[in-house]
Chain A
Amino acid sequence: DGGITQSPKYLFRKEGQNVTLSCEQNLNHDAMYWYRQDPGQGLRLIYYSQIVNDFQKGDIAEGYSVSREKKESFPLTVTSAQKNPTAFYLCASRTGTGLGDTQYFGPGTRLTVL
């Protein structure tokens, strides 16, 4: 089945540690995205990538880093520089570049910093 997978579903981290969230898609989509969602809030864009080996900062990139070495994979690293990392993280990919081209989402990773 085609889709987006994220792992792990739940992640616990001690303060001061970096942690990497996985996102893989087999939809053959060029563009991939990382969003952060805080309780009761909408989604905020962290980073996005429109093509392999290229990515751009979103609205809240500070304290995060990404890589895009393969079309299928877009891992997100939450660094110790991120001041409030506890949140729900959603990865998405997009069908194309037209106005109506939809973003499809993975199941999300819930990160808790202890």
Chain B
Amino acid sequence: AQKITQTQPGMFVQEKEAVTLDCTYDTSDQSYGLFWYKQPSSGEMIFLIYQGSYDEQNATEGRYSLNFQKARKSANLVISASQLGDSAMYFCAMRDLVMNRDDKIIFGKGTRLHILP
């Protein structure tokens, strides 16, 4: 069965340092997509970055990059030069071909990131 695991329930990081949020996934499909979302205290889920399983390059979007290691089934989010506004809950999500047929996506339980001044 498809699964997303985020093993870090909470993290504290000093402002301006880089942050890596872990995400491992499980699927038997060769075609799948991985997503990261940010949820600030206001509650809205904000899409950050996407990585397709066949993408040759790691996805990047501004200060966000995705460290995609296919053999290890990991898709870690890297935030460079962290800012106070990065304090939020972060969710990793996945959709594979089987799930896409049913229009489904699964989310991990999230990592709460605290940026310290």
A residues apposed to B, CB below 8 Å: 31, 40-43, 45, 48, 50, 56, 58, 88, 90, 92, 94, 97-100, 102-108, 110
Output the least CB separation between B96 and chain A (Å): 8
**Chain A residues, CB < 8 A from B95:** 99
Asked if residues B43 and A108 are in contact (CB atoms below 8 Å), the reply is: yes
List of B residues within 8 angstroms of A107 by Cβ: 42-44
Partner of B43, one of A40, A41, A88, A99: A88
B73 within 8 A of A: no
A99: which of B4, B97, B107, B109 is its contact (CB, 8 Å)? B97
In the complex, the answer to whether B109 meets A42 with C-beta atoms within 8 Å is yes
Kindly identify, within residues 100 to 117 of chain B, every residue whose CB is under 8 Å from any CB belonging to chain A: 100, 103-105, 107-110
In the bound complex, CA of A90 to CA of B108 (Å): 16
CA distance in complex: A43, B50 (Å): 18
Contact A43 B43 (CB under 8 A): no
Distance of A42 Cα from B104 Cα, bound (Å)? 14
Q: A94-B103, A104-B47, A105-B46 are in contact. List 5 more A-B contacts (CB 8 A).
A: A45-B104, A90-B45, A97-B100, A100-B52, A110-B43
